[in-house]
């Protein structure tokens, strides 16, 4: 097979865990007989931005695209970039891969995934961290506390998201100036610029940029054929994020065991540090000296142990955390403690030798680590691990199996664990004997290759976004949203549009599902059509292929959207489809099977008497309480007519679509449960006002051109029909009901539309 790997960095210029794993992955694919292309990013200020450099190494073609962010003009360009996409896809198209494996997209462009999907290429993606939901990648907030999830990311987006184009242009100029100044002067100018940026940053813009990034990333997740999760912890996080569990396969990291074999180390020109008899417990830390890795927790714990009882070897170099280098000043004093040996960065090929010199490895991370590569390597080297009880770590180090756990960020908790090893002579040997087996990279890659064989016709279905409109019904909206989140297959996104003047009640009702939906607050009632249009625009911006418009008082069964989508796909001319509408309070009673409309008379009738219900039933229109619309229809005829405000906009839209060549159908095998009358009141005279006014508007817009007498007769017939309905209706006095029809007729004649004109 021909496999393209996409990764944000690649050795030797980048040597983090993900990059090293991608390198091992590429080498093993090549060993198993595949042709391999690696598309990666480098950040070399000495080369032109977006310059492409190609090399062949050990039979693997590597294409490096330069991106230092010096030309970045907006927050959005930090994750999607047209120039990088174009360079990457030129290499991909020349290579013509059978499958793609995405390891990481930081510094590249997320749209590479979309372009791969459009070419029918199966895409496997390994979830190395949380970057697809967290722009900092580690679910660690600005205060270095574990974050609950993407619904609160807007604070971390902060200055970067709130900065406008002028600020990004200023940052480009600043980088040019910095190069010409001494280090101290450059740092002073940068600090002043950061303070100024914080002042001028727009919080509202940051919120909007956070929302747009989140929506975009969820759409990108839909384009991935299958995810691989190295830990159950990260798998669960992404299920909560909205990726269906069936699309995320558990897949523990594989490691090449050869460098950890004793005979190989013995032949190495750099012999390992010999173990010597000593009273000191030999403890090691291997990794970047950065805030999220938290080596300070280990060094603080050591200070609580008896003097001279341990020695600590620290392997790693300083690394700023998202540009913040202040952690260095926290760590440096601790590195001066007696018994601490600063070994500096260790080349990856030297890691087996570093581990061979240790009694125990400590992994004190404070971010919810996925499945730390160094733990797998320590186990291969026969070294027990003491690690934070966070993220996926407990799945590897399970309280006595291969090591021990302590509370994350708690140096005293770590000191107690280390004291146990000092005070219990047999414990270290017991932990060493209980080290679990480590998966090989050969087995790992062989399993991935099975996924690469997925046929294009099994790629994810087209993206369908649901739009739910709320007005005064937060509890009903929660039920509607919860039912949509259970859809099979999952929807690309669920957008809730709030027409209330406040969003407090709705946020409270949606709290259990809020991280999985997009909430748009209008701050005023735009009516059904106006509110839905806000959601439709958002869904189209997120790349939805079709929109499922849902009233807040509708409950949608899990298979409903898929059945509607199948029906619309089976009808070549269909652009709009709806389900059978059943009563929520009386589930055996059908309330709508679509509508017929007679333009000459303006009369519309429900098709509820059509029995038995065929799988696909033609209709002039379907109920707007639940309606699936292909994107092409909106592109051709525009959005819902906001002048209607409430009622008849669904019929108007379906008839406009028919005039543009799109049919409307009812999917007889799909059904929803609709309460009706929840937002405006089922017996409110205002319903009669909107019915009279909008019925007349519809007839004048879509009816045949007729002489004045015929038009007047049709209008009179519609007014009489609405007056008769007012007499039979319930709610209010008969006088108020008739007055509502009269007001509706008057406002139609005065060309007053939109909200109710009543004072």
The DSSP annotation for 337-380 comes to STTEEEEE---GGGHHHHHHT-SEEEE---S--S--HHHHHHHH
Q: Tell me, rounded to whole angstroms, the distance of Cα 126 from its chain centroid.
A: 15
Of 511, 650, 489, the closest CA to residue 566 belongs to 489
Residues 287 and 349 in one domain: yes
How far apart CA 245 and CA 236 sit, in angstroms, is 8
Residue partners of 29: CB distance under 8 A and separation at least 6: 3, 5, 36, 445, 449
Instruction: Answer yes or no: do 358 and 219 share one domain.
Output: no
User: Do 118 and 23 sit in the same domain of this protein?
Assistant: yes
pLDDT for residue 269: 46
Is residue 136 assigned to a domain? yes
Burial state string for 193-232 with b = 16 or more CB within 10 A and e = fewer than 16: beeebeeebeeeebebbbbbbbbbbbbbbbbbbbbbbbbe
Do residues 480 and 469 make contact, with C-beta atoms less than 8 angstroms apart?
Answer: no
Three-class secondary structure of residue 209 per DSSP: helix
Contact 139, 147 (CB under 8 A): yes
From CA 218, how far away is CA 238, in angstroms rounded? 10
Determine the Cα–Cα distance for residues 65 and 42; give it in Å rounded to an integer: 6
* CA distance to 109, 485, 660, per residue, from 512 (Å): 32, 12, 42
Q: Tell me: do 309 and 415 sit in the same domain.
A: yes
> Would you say 250 and 229 are in contact if contact means Cβ atoms under 8 Å apart?
yes
Q: Within this chain, do residues 70 and 218 fall inside the same structural domain, yes or no?
A: yes
Q: What is the pLDDT of residue 158?
A: 55
Asked which of 618, 643, 674 is the last residue of a domain, the reply is 674
- Measured in whole angstroms, the distance separating CA 456 from the mean position of its chain's CA atoms is 23
What is the 3-class SS of 286-309, one letter each residue? ECCECCCCCHHHHHHHHCCCCCCC
pLDDT value at position 460? 44
**How many independent structural domains does the chain possess?**
4
**How far is it, in rounded angstroms, from Cα 563 to Cα 579?**
9
Q: At which of 620, 641, 674 does a domain end?
A: 674
The verdict on residue 189 lying in a domain is no
Cα angle 366, 241, 455; round to 5: 115
Decide the pairing of beta strands 2-7 and 99-102: parallel
Q: Does some domain include residue 538?
A: yes
CA Rg value for the chain: 31
Q: Are residues 102 and 64 in the same domain?
A: yes
| Domain match, 541 and 647 both | yes
Residues 113 and 240 in one domain: yes
Q: What is the pLDDT of residue 9?
A: 95
On whether both 591 and 729 belong to a single domain, the answer is no
State residue 717 phi and psi, 5-degree precision: -60, -40
Q: Which residues make Cβ contacts (< 8 Å) with residue 615, sequence separation at least 6?
A: 567, 667, 668, 669
By C-alpha distance, which of 627, 634, 621, 628 is closest to 663?
621
CATH code for the domain of 429: 3.40.50.2000
Round to whole Å and give the CA distance between 30 and 128. Answer: 22
Instruction: Note the pLDDT of residue 397.
Output: 94
* Torsional class of 672: left (φ above 0), alpha (ψ -120 to 50), beta (otherwise): beta
**Would you tell me how many other CB atoms lie within 10 Å of the CB of residue 184?**
8
Whether 292 is covered by a domain: the verdict is yes
Q: Does a cis peptide bond (omega within 30 degrees of 0) precede residue 516?
A: no
Could you tell me if 239 and 276 lie in one domain? Answer: no
Is the bond preceding 489 in cis, omega lying within 30 degrees of 0? Answer: yes
Burial grade of 307 (CB within 10 A; 0-12, 13-18, 19 or more): exposed
Q: 322's torsion region: left (phi>0), alpha (psi -120 to 50) or beta? A: left
242/218 Cα distance (integer angstroms): 8
User: Does residue 447 lie within any of the structural domains?
Assistant: no
Is 192 within a domain? no
Q: Residue 729 is part of which domain span?
A: 685-749
Pair 666, 689 in one domain = no
Q: What is the pLDDT of residue 154?
A: 54
Distances (CA, A) of 482 to 428, 517, 564: 50, 10, 19
DSSP H helical ranges for 102-226: 111-118, 154-162, 165-178, 183-200, 203-223
* CA–CA distance, 532 with 548 (Å, rounded to integer): 10
Q: Could you say which DSSP state residue 137 is in?
A: S
Q: Say how far apart CA 568 and CA 577 lie, in whole Å.
A: 6
- Going by C-alpha positions, the residue among 497, 421, 437, 425 that lies closest to residue 465 is 497
Q: Which CATH number goes with the domain that contains 484? A: 3.90.550.60
pLDDT at residue number 202: 58
Side-chain half-sphere exposure of 587, counting CA atoms within 13 A: 6
Distance CA 572, CA 196 (A): 57
- For CA atoms 129, 135, 139, 144, the dihedral sign is positive
Boundary (domain end) residue, out of 231, 250, 269 = 250
Q: What is the pLDDT of residue 463?
A: 84
SS3 assignment for 713-724 = HHHHHHHHHHHH
Q: Collapsing DSSP states into helix, strand and coil, what is residue 388? A: strand
- How far CA 137 is from CA of 106, 129, 227, 322, 713, in Å, comes to 9, 6, 17, 10, 67
Residue 167 falls within a domain, yes or no?
no
Please name which of 319, 333, 332 lies closest in space to residue 291, comparing C-alpha atoms: 319
Please, are residues 469 and 548 in contact by the beta-carbon 8 Å criterion?
no
Within a domain: 77: yes
**β-strands 385-388, 99-102: how paired?**
unpaired
Give the per-residue pLDDT at 431.
95
pLDDT on residue 759: 47
Query: So what's the pLDDT on residue 22?
Result: 97
Dist. CA 282–CA 308, nearest whole Å: 11
> In terms of domains, do 262 and 388 share one?
yes
Q: What is the pLDDT of residue 694?
A: 76
The stretches in the chain having pLDDT less than 50 are 159, 161-162, 166, 168, 170-171, 173-178, 181, 183, 186, 190, 193-201, 264, 269-277, 456-460, 759
């Amino acid at each position: 097979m021909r496999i393209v790997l996409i990764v944000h960095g690649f050795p030797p210029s980048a040597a983090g865990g993900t990059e090293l794993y991608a390198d091992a992955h590429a080498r093993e694919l090549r060993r198993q007989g595949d042709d391999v292309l690696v598309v990666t990013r480098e950040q070399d200020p000495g080369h032109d931005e977006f310059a492409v450099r190609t090399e062949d190494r050990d039979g693997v073609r590597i294409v490096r695209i330069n991106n230092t962010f010096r030309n970045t003009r907006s927050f959005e360009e930090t994750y999607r970039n047209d120039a990088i996409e174009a360079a990457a896809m030129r290499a991909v198209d020349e290579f013509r891969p059978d499958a793609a494996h995405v390891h990481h997209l930081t510094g590249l462009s997320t749209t590479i995934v979309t372009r791969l999907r459009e070419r029918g290429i199966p895409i496997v993606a390994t979830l190395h961290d949380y970057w697809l939901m967290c722009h900092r990648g580690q679910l660690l907030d600005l205060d270095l506390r574990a974050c609950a999830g993407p619904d609160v990311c807007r604070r971390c987006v902060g200055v970067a998201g709130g900065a406008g184009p002028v600020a990004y242009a200023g940052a480009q100029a600043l980088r040019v100036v910095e190069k010409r100044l001494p280090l101290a002067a450059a740092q002073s100018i940068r600090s002043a610029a950061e303070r100024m940026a914080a002042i001028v940053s727009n919080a509202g813009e940051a919120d909007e940029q956070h929302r747009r990034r989140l929506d975009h990333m969820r759409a990108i997740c839909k384009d991935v054929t299958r995810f691989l999760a190295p830990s159950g912890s990260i798998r669960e996080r992404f299920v909560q994020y909205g990726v269906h569990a069936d699309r995320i396969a558990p897949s523990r990291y594989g490691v090449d065991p050869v460098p950890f074999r004793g005979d190989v180390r013995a032949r190495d020109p750099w012999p390992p540090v010999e173990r010597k008899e000593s009273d000191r417990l030999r403890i090691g830390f291997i990794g970047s000296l950065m805030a999220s890795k938290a080596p300070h927790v280990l060094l603080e714990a050591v200070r609580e142990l008896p003097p001279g009882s341990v020695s600590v070897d620290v392997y790693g170099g300083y690394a700023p955390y998202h540009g913040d280098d202040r952690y260095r000043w926290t760590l440096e004093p601790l590195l001066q403690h007696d018994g601490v040996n600063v070994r500096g960065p260790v080349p990856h090929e030297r890691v087996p030798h570093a581990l061979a010199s240790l009694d125990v490895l400590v992994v004190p991370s404070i971010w919810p680590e996925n499945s730390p590569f160094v733990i797998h390597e320590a186990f291969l080297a026969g070294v027990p691990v003491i690690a934070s009880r966070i993220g996926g770590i407990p799945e590897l180090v399970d309280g006595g199996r291969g090591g021990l756990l302590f509370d994350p960020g708690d140096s005293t908790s770590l000191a107690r664990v280390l004291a146990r090893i000092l005070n219990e002579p047999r414990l270290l040997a017991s932990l060493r004997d209980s080290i679990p087996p480590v998966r090989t990279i050969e087995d790992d890659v062989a399993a991935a290759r099975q996924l690469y064989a997925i046929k294009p016709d099994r790629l994810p279905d087209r993206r369908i976004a649901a739009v739910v409109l709320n007005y005064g019904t937060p509890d009903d909206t929660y039920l509607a949203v919860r039912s949509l989140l259970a859809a099979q297959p999952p929807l690309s996104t669920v957008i809730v549009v709030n027409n209330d003047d406040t969003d407090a009640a709705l946020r409270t009702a949606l709290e259990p599902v809020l991280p999985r939906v997009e909430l748009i607050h209008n701050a005023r009632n735009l009516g059904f059509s106006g509110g839905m249009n806000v959601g439709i625009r958002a869904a189209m911006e997120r790349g939805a292929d079709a929109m499922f418009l849902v009233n807040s008082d509708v409950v949608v069964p899990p298979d409903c959207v898929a059945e509607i989508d199948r029906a619309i796909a089976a009808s070549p001319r269909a652009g709009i489809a709806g389900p059978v509408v059943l009563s929520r309070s009386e589930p055996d009673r059908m309330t709508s099977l679509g509508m017929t409309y007679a333009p000459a008379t303006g009369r519309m009738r429900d098709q509820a008497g059509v029995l038995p219900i065929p799988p696909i039933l033609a209709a002039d229109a379907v109920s707007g309480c639940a309606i699936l619309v292909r994107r092409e229809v909106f592109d051709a005829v525009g959005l819902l007519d906001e002048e209607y405000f409430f009622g008849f906009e669904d019929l108007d839209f379906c008839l406009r679509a028919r005039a543009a060549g799109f049919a409307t159908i009812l999917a007889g095998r799909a059904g929803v449960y609709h309460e009706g009358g929840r937002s405006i009141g089922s017996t409110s005279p205002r319903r009669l006002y909107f019915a009279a006014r909008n019925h007349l508007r519809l007839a004048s817009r879509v009816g045949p051109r007729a002489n004045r007498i015929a038009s007047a007769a049709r209008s009179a017939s519609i007014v009489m029909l609405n007056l008769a309905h007012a007499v039979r209706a319930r709610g209010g006095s008969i006088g108020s009901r008739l007055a509502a029809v009269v007001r509706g007729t008057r406002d139609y004649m005065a060309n007053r539309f939109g909200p109710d004109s009543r004072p």
